Amino acid sequence: MSTTESGLPIEPVYGPDALDGWPAAQRLGAPGEYPFTRGVYPTMYTGRPWTMRQYAGFGTAAESNRRYHQLVEAGTGGLSVAFDLPTQMGYDSDAPVAAGEVGKVGVAIDSIEDMRVLFDGIPLAEVSTSMTINAPAALLLLLYQLVGREQGVDGDRLTGTIQNDVLKEYIARGTYIYPPAASLRLTSDIFGYCRRELPRWNSISISGYHMAEAGATPVQEVAFTLANAREYVRAALSAGLGVDEFAPRLSFFFVSRTTILEEVAKFRAARRIWARVMRDEFGATNPKSQMLRFHTQTAGVQLTAQQPEVNLVRVAVQALAAVLGGTQSLHTNSYDEAIALPTEKAARLALRTQQVLAYETDVTRTVDPFAGSYAVESLTDELEAATVALMTQVEDMGGAVAAIERGFQKNQIEHSAYDVAKQIDAGERTIVGVNRFLSNDEEPYEPLRVDPAIEQAQAERLARLREERDGDAVARALDALRTAAAGTDNVLVPMREALAARATVGEVCDALREVWGTYEPPTGI
């Protein structure tokens, strides 16, 4: 018998007996109503399609700004910012640890001056912006708010999302800075700040994507993501926030693989589980607090450097799965991303893939077309049961943070990744162009290259900034930030003032490092 990516059985034929006695009204509900199995909005895409985002950012802020203008002109409705590793880790471009990494996997942002250049000419009142940033998420959000003010756009008109999901960094990516308790404190402060200052902003995007890219199965992806979400909700409640004050702005981020049926079932099961957790466990009464709204990115880990044009097909299939699963926004990977940063042409083709799905197919004409499918409803129930069982394991350990400290999630994901690698090597899992259907006459590909001179240019910008700014004002602002971090005041207010005084990202993160320390992973995990 065949199995799904999660190891669940998938039958060769499903019939009426698969749903015999199945309580359709209870398990499905109506679109836009509890338990949101059929989608979080009544009309879904019949009114308008999902938000089409393209993840972009490389080199300098000026280079990334040019790419953003190209994407907006090509019809994208939302920008998604990639930051380089030094920015993700809270280091300035001239820090010794940043050597060789400036501008490589995203854009380098060192201060408000870089943020001004990044969004120069981009109408922030009209564009929704998602920022893939975690440990320093508060800083990049505040820089965005400050640039919005300079454009004359108040905080209540800014829309977008910061990822701000540091728990998954301890599990799958490693771009953490502070220990878990301090990270959760910062997350709660962001929730409170956004409620007052940026009411339309999604203050967190709780991410399973990176766990999936590291090798998590669909069940692991959803279970560990929702377990992390529980921790964030608990942290916010402990900080004195009411559940219906912050929960409507929670959002999620998942992968979409080529296995369409399981992916559709995964998204439907995730909505159902989260609605139940928020209503029954946390007492959320606002329907918006019970909705699992999510962004999807197609699966980068499934793209291949061999025969890269085949990735166009993979991305189209993955995007279709996300749409049929009811995503609220979507990023489609470029076909060349397994080789290098995407070229302008490849990024445009990725966006065109979404536009073809939205405007040339009929998938936007009816809500949840798989509802009642013998196969998909059976898979949804099975995925839900397996996910809940794994979430219970995490709870039994004391919750997501306690499980992270034991290395549980990381260990589970690494075992899954190893199993897949063995299957590929043994030829048990077909990867077109890699272990079957090989080609000896592939065309040469010229990747996008980042100019190594960027690092020196950023260092020179930082030197000028430090020379021209009011150093005493920066020092006072950083002292105020340290005081807030050592106490209980919301740290985002003094952080904003420090950034407005032209403190750098690295200086602000260093001030918090002095108070909160840095996270050291347990040895032997």
Whole-angstrom Cα Rg for the chain: 23
Residue 343: CB partners within 8 Å, gap ≥ 6? Answer: 334, 336, 447, 448
Cis peptide before 35 (omega within 30 of 0): yes
Q: Is the dihedral of CA 401, 407, 412, 418 positive or negative?
A: positive
Residue 146: closest CA among 113, 122, 121 = 113
What is the DSSP-derived secondary structure letter of residue 155? G
Distance CA 160, CA 392 (A): 32
Tell me the one-letter amino acid at 450: V
Model pLDDT, residue 372:
95
Distance CA 35, CA 269 (A): 10
Distance CA 281, CA 279 (A): 6
Are β-strands 78-82 and 204-207 bridged in parallel, bridged antiparallel, or unpaired?
unpaired
Counting Cα atoms < 13 Å in the Cβ hemisphere of 183 gives 24
Q: Give domain limits for the chain.
A: 16-426
Are β-strands 250-256 and 160-162 bridged in parallel, bridged antiparallel, or unpaired?
unpaired
Distance CA 387, CA 272 (A): 11
Model pLDDT, residue 53:
83
Q: Taking phi first (over 0 means left), then psi (-120 to 50 degrees means alpha), and beta for anything else, what does residue 217 get? A: beta
CATH 2.102.10.10 assigned to 16-426:
no
Distance CA 275, CA 289 (A): 8
8 A C-beta contact, residue 134 and residue 206: no
Distance CA 191, CA 202 (A): 9
Tell me the one-letter amino acid at 381: D
Distance CA 311, CA 306 (A): 9
Model pLDDT, residue 524:
56
Model pLDDT, residue 56:
67
CA angle 83, 220, 358 (to 5 degrees): 60
298 has which bridge partners? 256
Q: Reduce the DSSP state of residue 56 to 3 states and report it.
A: strand
Residue 495: closest CA among 143, 135, 83, 119 = 143
Q: What are 93-106's pLDDT values in tens digits?
A: 999 999 999 998 89
Residue 108: CB partners within 8 Å, gap ≥ 6? Answer: 59, 60, 61, 83, 84, 86, 87, 93, 102, 114, 454, 458
8 A C-beta contact, residue 138 and residue 512: no
Q: How many CB atoms lie within 10 A of CB 69?
A: 13
Kindly give the parts of the chain with pLDDT less than 50. none
Model pLDDT, residue 446:
65
Distance CA 406, CA 408 (A): 5
